[in-house]
Amino acid sequence: MASEKVIVLDDNNFEAEVIQSSVPVLVDFWASWCAPCKAIAPLVDALASEYEGKVKVGKVNVDESPATPAKYGIRGIPTLILFKDGKMVDQVVGAVPKSQLEALIKKAL
């Protein structure tokens, strides 16, 4: 369901793709049954294109990879967390406007 610019993340590749990334990473924690997750997906895909080369964008399906969301205390989805240098910079919960997601990304640039 993700665009080709969005990385599919899971419990196995999260460390390599996010924690060890040389650029900031925006991670979308979602599930296929979550309506707000589907509503925000086109915004996440658009940001992946707009910030290509500056920020990586990835998605974690919380049903398929439960260890990673548990590690970061994800209680509600969608939750988007911005990582920089392997650490959480900030997060937003819920289907928020694109401007709020862009503000999140700009904190890491």
Give catalytic residue positions: 34, 37
Alpha helices in the chain (DSSP H): 14, 35-50, 67-71, 98-106
How many other C-beta atoms are found inside a 10 Å radius of the C-beta of residue 63?
13
Q: Give dist(CA 64, CA 51) in Å, integer.
A: 27
What are the Cα distances from residue 56, in Å, to 23, 30, 33?
A: 7, 17, 25
